[in-house]
């Protein structure tokens, strides 16, 4: 492949003039957020190199050229869209036009720099999103001391084509396709990079940023200051509701196992209209059963635009209701002060339930569609039972104070007796069905037919090619035609598809039954935050050799790794908004995990909460999960609202718990059915990228639907309609 380079400029020409760095009296650096899902990765990179947090302004921030002169350097960040569209650029356009403050443009900033210089910015034949490319450079300016070639991550559908009369000089090129990867105008102290130096797989991003700051005359520190990664328009710690808190003591009854989880749940909840079972059906970690019939229990239902409805035996608790759900959660958790006990896990009494996808309107999205179901349902459970699968022990937990001590201790004794009664007994269900051999055909039951779904995939690819998105997580909904028993459905599903994040929520008029393998985000009591995004799927094969070949294919495919990398970088951005600078890292990348019906490509992202941040701030930053939206999240959700044309409801949201000790654990709502009066629906989908094959995308949805469809067929009420689930 031929790499085209422009001739070197002659000595004394404008492009070769050397500019001495001017020493500035302050180190304030402005980062302009073009509403991207990687901006705060750039902010953290700047923080670590500069030694202090940059100021982050959205491109809608009202500012003048004089305001910009208050900074020592400006970084115009990445974003969706085109530099020719004023609304996509906003403040970035002003930053690139002014000449007083040095500028580094990243991706969209790089393209905007070229556009303002009169150069062409054109659509690429093959977009590059989540692709790692080798880059060769000229060794000058921001590339001083950087090895050549080196590897970078690219997220772009547009390419810069320099005019012969351009004042900009090419500085770096991709060796795999020849695309221009960097621009330089040293006389004006302006540089641009098409790649993303902040990506987890880009090399030498810190040195490139340090070189830019040096050329801008900004001194860098050797140690970053602690705290959040940015100031200005960046999120700040959310105040937790004040007022007098009710002091409660955690009392625990430990009982030796083993007990069968199904039998334990059925006996615990036999007399309960409402119960929540977070079921680690794969036998790892812990399973949690939360009840809503204790004396301190509170129930919360929430609808976007209407607000929260809070129900409790204590009439004062109703004052905790807020227009926004996460504010209601803060207010409810703030009503209690926990005197904790010593347990081998972080699970504590607190709020348990689901957050539906349409809650995006209260975090980072808009209210495009209204769900027929509540957008959230939670119970503040004062009674919980935790089954520790590692030891077999059962831990019954209750919140106790002087008013409720007798009632709560009686319940603890009841659980202890129940465990003794069940110890050693085993649930004896029918044989587990084989989804590969007996899966019903769901193609005629989906909201979008095969032809319609293929057309939507094509529409997604057009949006990606135009630069509007990098990855679009398109979904479909299947409506089951026969009434089902939710309890039988979960019983079958947990045998058919054992997972770490199973769900059985039994609510008034609604059941949520799921077998999700994907953790959304968790927070430990010590403030460690973890997300485990899944992107990349292959079906299991009964033949060991073919099954192993599927694992190898999933591990090696560029498309699957690119999908996964995009969500890893997105989650790093989300966590950087609430975590201490320098703490967010990726201990595991592109690991294949095998489940009963599928192989999945899984990564792990971790960080440490910044001072003042709490679990609900993590949800404010991360919800909805990027693995269910794509990237950039805000623009991509708008695209999905238009293409899908309907609400997702519980699907694509989150299920989990938030404890009174500050800990939290949630899973992504996938492989999950909602059952209303016996009628079941469930969602399926996949990530569409520039490399997607429409037929393969549709086939992936059928693979993901297989286990649920089989479980639904087994769980049908017979004859249809005669009985109803309890």
- Enumerate the active-site residues: 107, 196, 198
- Give the chain's radius of gyration (CA, Å): 27
Largest CA distance in the chain: 91
* CA–CA distance, 469 with 629 (Å, rounded to integer): 11
* CA–CA distance, 278 with 387 (Å, rounded to integer): 10
Q: How long, in residues, is the chain?
A: 726
Distances (CA, A) of 187 to 93, 102, 441, 470: 19, 10, 65, 34
- Give the H or E element holding residue 350: strand 350-355
In 166-286, alpha helices (H) = 205-215, 261-268
Contacts of 319 (CB under 8 A, 6+ apart): 331
* CA–CA distance, 358 with 396 (Å, rounded to integer): 34
CA angle at 686 for the pair 685 and 689, rounded to the nearest 5°: 145
In 235-357, alpha helices (H) = 261-268, 325-333
Paired tokens of 673: 């059915």
696 SS3 class: helix
In 148-296, alpha helices (H) = 205-215, 261-268
> Are the C-beta atoms of residues 611 and 581 closer than 8 Å to each other?
no
Contacts of 43 (CB under 8 A, 6+ apart): 31, 53, 54, 56, 229, 230, 234, 576
* CA–CA distance, 486 with 513 (Å, rounded to integer): 7
115 forms beta bridges with: none
* CA–CA distance, 452 with 447 (Å, rounded to integer): 9
Peptide bond into 632 cis (omega under 30): yes
Q: Burial code of 112-142, b = ≥16 C-beta within 10 A, e = fewer?
A: bbbbbbebebeeeeebbbbbbbebbbbeebb
Location of structure tokens 């919980």:
384
- Give the H or E element holding residue 503: strand 501-507
* CA–CA distance, 14 with 10 (Å, rounded to integer): 9
> Are the C-beta atoms of residues 78 and 106 closer than 8 Å to each other?
yes
Phi-psi region of 308 (alpha: psi -120 to 50; beta: other; left: phi over 0): beta
468 SS3 class: coil
* CA–CA distance, 415 with 120 (Å, rounded to integer): 71
* CA–CA distance, 41 with 575 (Å, rounded to integer): 9
Paired tokens of 318: 């109703």
Paired tokens of 202: 């880009």
> Are the C-beta atoms of residues 537 and 598 closer than 8 Å to each other?
yes
Q: Which of 451, 471, 455 is nearest to 463 (CA)?
A: 471
> Are the C-beta atoms of residues 329 and 664 closer than 8 Å to each other?
no
630 forms beta bridges with: 472
In order, the DSSP letters of 403-452 are TTHHHHHHHHHHHHHHHHHHTT-----PPPP-HHHHPPP-GGGBSS-HHH
């Amino acid at each position: 492949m031929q790499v085209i380079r422009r001739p070197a400029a002659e000595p004394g020409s404008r492009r070769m003039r050397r500019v001495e760095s001017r020493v500035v009296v302050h180190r304030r650096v402005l980062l302009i957020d073009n509403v991207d899902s990687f901006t705060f990765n750039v902010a953290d990179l700047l923080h670590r190199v500069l030694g202090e947090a940059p100021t982050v302004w959205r491109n809608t921030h009202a500012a003048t050229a004089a305001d910009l002169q208050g900074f020592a350097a400006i970084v115009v960040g990445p974003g969706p869209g085109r530099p020719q569209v004023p609304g996509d650029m906003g403040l970035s356009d002003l930053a690139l036009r002014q000449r007083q403050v040095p500028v580094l443009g990243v991706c969209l900033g790089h393209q905007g720099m070229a556009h303002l210089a009169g150069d062409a910015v054109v659509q690429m034949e093959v977009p590059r999103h989540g692709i790692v490319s080798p880059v060769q450079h000229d060794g000058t300016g921001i590339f001083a001391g950087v090895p050549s070639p080196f590897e970078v991550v690219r997220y772009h559908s547009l390419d810069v084509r320099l005019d012969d009369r351009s004042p900009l000089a090419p500085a770096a090129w991709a060796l795999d396709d020849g695309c221009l990867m960097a621009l330089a105008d040293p006389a004006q102290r302006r540089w641009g990079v098409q790649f993303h130096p902040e990506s987890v797989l880009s090399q030498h991003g810190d040195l490139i940023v340090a070189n830019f700051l040096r050329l801008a005359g900004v001194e860098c520190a050797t140690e970053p200051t602690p705290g959040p990664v940015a100031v200005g328009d960046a999120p700040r710690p959310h105040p937790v509701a004040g007022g007098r808190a009710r002091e409660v003591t955690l009392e625990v009854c430990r009982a030796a196992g083993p007990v069968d989880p199904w039998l334990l749940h059925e006996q615990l909840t036999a007399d309960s209209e409402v119960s929540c079972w977070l079921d680690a059906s794969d036998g790892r970690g812990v399973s949690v059963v939360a009840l809503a019939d204790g004396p301190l229990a509170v129930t919360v239902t929430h609808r976007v635009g209407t607000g929260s409805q809070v129900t409790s035996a204590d009439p004062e608790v109703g004052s905790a209701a807020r227009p926004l759900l996460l504010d209601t959660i803060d207010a409810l958790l703030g009503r209690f002060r926990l005197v904790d006990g010593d347990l081998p896990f972080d699970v504590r009494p607190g709020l348990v339930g689901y957050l539906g996808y349409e809650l995006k309107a209260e975090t980072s999205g808009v209210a495009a569609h209204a769900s027929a179901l509540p957008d959230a349902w939670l119970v503040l459970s004062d009674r919980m039972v935790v089954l520790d699968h590692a030891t077999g022990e059962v831990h019954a937990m209750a919140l106790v104070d002087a008013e409720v001590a007798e009632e709560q201790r009686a319940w603890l004794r009841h659980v202890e007796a129940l465990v003794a009664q069940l110890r050693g007994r085993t649930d004896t269900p029918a044989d587990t069905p084989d989804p590969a051999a007996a899966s019903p055909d769901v193609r005629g039951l989906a909201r979008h037919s095969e032809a319609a779904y293929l057309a939507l995939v094509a529409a997604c690819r057009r949006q990606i090619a135009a630069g509007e998105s990098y990855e679009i997580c398109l979904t479909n909904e299947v409506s089951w035609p026969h009434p089902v028993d939710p309890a039988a459905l979960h019983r079958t599903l947990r045998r058919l598809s054992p997972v770490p994040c199973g769900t059985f929520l039994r609510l008034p008029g609604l059941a949520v039954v799921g077998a999700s393998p994907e953790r959304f985000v968790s927070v430990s009591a010590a403030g460690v935050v973890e997300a485990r995004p899944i992107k990349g799927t292959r079906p299991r094969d009964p033949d060991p050799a073919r099954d192993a070949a599927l694992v190898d294919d999933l591990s090696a495919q560029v498309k699957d790794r690119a999908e996964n990398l995009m969500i890893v970088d997105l989650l790093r951005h989300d966590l950087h908004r609430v975590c201490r600078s320098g703490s967010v890292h990726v201990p595991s990348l592109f690991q294949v995990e095998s489940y009963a019906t599928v192989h999945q490509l899984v990564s792990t992202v971790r960080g440490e909460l910044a001072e003042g941040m709490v679990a609900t701030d993590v949800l404010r930053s991360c919800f909805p999960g990027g693995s269910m939206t794509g990237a950039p999240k805000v623009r991509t959700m708008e695209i999905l609202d238009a293409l899908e044309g309907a609400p997702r409801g519980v699907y694509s949201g989150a299920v989990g718990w938030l404890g009174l000790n500050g800990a939290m654990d949630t899973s992504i709502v996938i492989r999950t059915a909602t059952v209303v009066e016996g009628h079941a629906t469930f969602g399926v989908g996949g990530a569409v990228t520039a490399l997607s094959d429409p037929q393969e995308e549709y086939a992936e949805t059928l693979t993901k639907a297989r286990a649920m469809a089989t479980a639904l067929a087994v769980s049908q009420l017979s004859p249809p309609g005669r009985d109803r689930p309890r």
